[in-house]
Structure 1
Amino acid sequence: MTHTQLPDLEKVTNAAFQKQFQALRPILEAEARIKQQLARLDGQLRQARQDSTKVEGYQVSGTDVLWNSWESATRRQLNLQLARTRAQKLAGMEALRTAFGRKQAVETLRKKIQQANRKANAKKHFGP
């Protein structure tokens, strides 16, 4: 590899890293959204438990059973979505790590070449 090809390689590895990062962003946003929905559901559950003790007829009418059934199904669905999203995130993180490693390797190579060139130039100008 010549030193003139190195900047092109650096651009390509940086672009690959950015592409992987951008691909991961919607997955991270989806994970955050699902976590927020689970937190909201937890808040609703706390509120429903507090309200059920205050409201007459809540348990007698079976409303508590229906609400608990809805809450359980909703929680199960959100947890499934979260598991799928986290699986996608893990795959995306692996691709991002690989792209980052390549980017770092090229940057390290560039720095080593620059140092070698500086040493060679100093040797030319100032002698052995």
Structure 2
Amino acid sequence: MTPFLTAMTVLCVLGISLGQLLFKKAAAAIPDAMSLQSWIFNPWLIAALVLYGITTLAWVWVLRNATLQLAYPFMGLAFLIVPALEWLFMSNPIKLPTLIGGALILAGIAIAARA
């Protein structure tokens, strides 16, 4: 993959990861007595959906220019980025099993990228 295509792939993974954080914020902002308005006018949910839409379009462009075999292993990075973002912005601790799993995922991505 070219450096630009690799950068676009990583940006897609970052967008999906940030979208997950926004979905979490949206879920926390919905009151216990849910109503249709609490979903429709939820700014976190709107931001997450917009980001997911833009990221999906970018991902389609990535897949037009790269094989799924090369691009998709990068999505595994989301399993590392999401907990890191949650730790950074929501003060949730990262536990040892997450770190070990993340290291294994990184090893798998490195192996798949060489293939």
Q: TM-score range by the shorter chain?
A: 0.3 to 0.5
Structure-2-length-normalised TM-score: 0.44
Structure-1-length-normalised TM-score: 0.40
Q: Which has the higher contact order (CA 8 A, sep 6+)?
A: 1
